[in-house]
Chains A and B, each alone.
Chain A
Amino acid sequence: MKCYLPTIRSDKQGFTELASLKYALSNSIDDELVIDFSKCKFFDANMAASLKAVLSSVTDSSKTIVINGLPQAIECILRKNQFLNEYGYPVMRDTNQTTLPLLRVILQYHCFQSSDSHVLANYLNTHLSGKGIPEMSPMLNKKFRQSIFEIFENCAAHSNSRQGIFVCGQYFPRLNRLDLTISDAGIGIRTNVRRFLNRQVSSVDAIRWAMEEGNTTKTGTQPGGFGLALLKNLIELNRGKIQIVSRQGYYEFSNGKIKFDKLAADFPGTTINLEINTNDNNSYCLSSEISAKDIF
């Protein structure tokens, strides 16, 4: 079976195209699945994480993915970020050092273990610095790292993903922007919220519910419920952008505006896409300091 991949950008259309690709591939009975890029005019490098999540969700040991028809510029991007490595294309050196290459973290026992956190920490230490990478303030760097770990812990706790978690990013030095995508190919927010509320909520309503501070599908003695709200707070102060795509739900927040939409196809699991403004010197602290004595 051959599928043509159209242009993929980090937007609703791009995620819809990837969800449609997943639908087409998962309905194929062929052992060989060919992804033809000849009709793809542009591919946002960070979206390699989402494409990888799609491909991992439709393949098992009996299926082979073949990638061909790559325009030269796209091949260059996807070799630099190591997406194509698994499909027989050699890695290309990232001379500008603006790439956060594709990382796959396979979770043991469906939870975020110390070994996983060290893999992610090493990845961030290695790739959040380099000659092509805009200098971020220490506070933004800290908040950004914190957000990535928050997302990972969320994926680990809620996704039930057997494929693991995929991360990929790209710096745009002239735009002072860093794009980072985290995809889990798991069950999605919708399934978790439906189980919790025992109601048939839509994917969009499930994301809306999960974004509310205090809402969590966790049960037991560990509270939760504001990892996503923290993320939104960071993006608001940073004047960046966040997109959350989960099953047929699409959420976007930027410039103070929230957008919810329904995707035309079912996207595997949950993807969180961050656009960080790297030229940001916010202090990220409340104006009045909290006293350690008053905290409890």
Chain B
Amino acid sequence: MNNVNIIRVFDIVGGGLCVSSDDGQLVHDQIAKLLREKHNVIISFENIDTLISAFLNAAIGQLYSEFPEEDIRECLSVENMTPEDMELLKRVIDNAKIYFENRKNYDDAWKIEVNDEE
């Protein structure tokens, strides 16, 4: 593995609000690029005041569809995260692992609605 890179979430989303999956996608794209280049990545949540699951699903959860779990564990770390936000991230990651194990079943199920009757 090469250099350690710090991804500052505050700088990418332009403030302390991490509440949209679009912003999460921006963070994800930067992390994914560095992981593909075999860099170690530290994600800094310094000055983040509001964080929701949809943001973390996009930013970090979806990495589990692209990289082996061992690589993520080896190369990725977080800093400046409050214990309650850490707990949320843990749930996001546990959920993502299960989600991608079953993903084919989920995606195959997406069909059109039959009608609008109750």
Contacts and interface: CB of A to CB of B under 8 A. Distances in A.
- Whether chains A and B associate is yes
Interface of A: 111-114, 116-118, 120-121, 139, 142-143, 145-146, 149-150, 152-154, 156-157, 190-191, 194-198, 200, 202-203, 213-214, 216, 219-227, 230, 247-248, 266, 284-286, 289-290, 292-293, 295-296
B78 A295 contact: yes
A121 B50 contact: yes
B17 A284 contact: no
Given A111-B20, A112-B20, A216-B99, 19 more contacts: A113-B22, A114-B22, A121-B50, A142-B49, A142-B84, A149-B17, A150-B54, A194-B114, A197-B109, A198-B109, A214-B99, A221-B65, A222-B25, A223-B64, A223-B100, A247-B118, A290-B83, A292-B78, A296-B69
A126 to B, nearest CB: 15
Contacts of A289: 83, 86
Nearest to A149: B19
B36 interface: no
Mostly, the B contact residues are: helix
B interface, how many residues as a size bin? 35 or more
Contacts of A116: 20
B37 interface: no
A284 B84 contact: yes
A70 B84 CA distance: 46
12 contacts: A111-B20, A113-B22, A114-B17, A118-B17, A149-B50, A216-B106, A223-B95, A223-B99, A224-B57, A225-B99, A226-B95, A289-B83
Interface in B1-23: 13-15, 17, 19-23
Contacts of A196: 109-111
Contacts of B38: none
A120 B83 CA distance: 25
Interface of B: 13-15, 17, 19-25, 49-55, 57-58, 61-62, 64-66, 69, 72-73, 76-79, 81, 83-84, 86-93, 95-96, 98-100, 106-107, 109-118
Contacts of A225: 95, 99
Contacts of A121: 17, 50
Given A195-B112, A195-B113, A225-B95, A285 B84 contact: yes
B53 A226 contact: yes
Most chain B beta-carbon contacts within 10 A, residue among A191, A289, A292: A292
A294 to B, nearest CB: 8
A285 B52 contact: no
A220 B90 CA distance: 21
Contact of A157 (B21, B84, B116): B21
Contacts of B86: 289-290, 292, 295
Contact of B52 (A153, A284, A286, A295): A153
* Across the A-B interface, the 3 shortest Cβ-Cβ residue pairs: A198-B111, A223-B99, A149-B19
Contacts of A152: 19
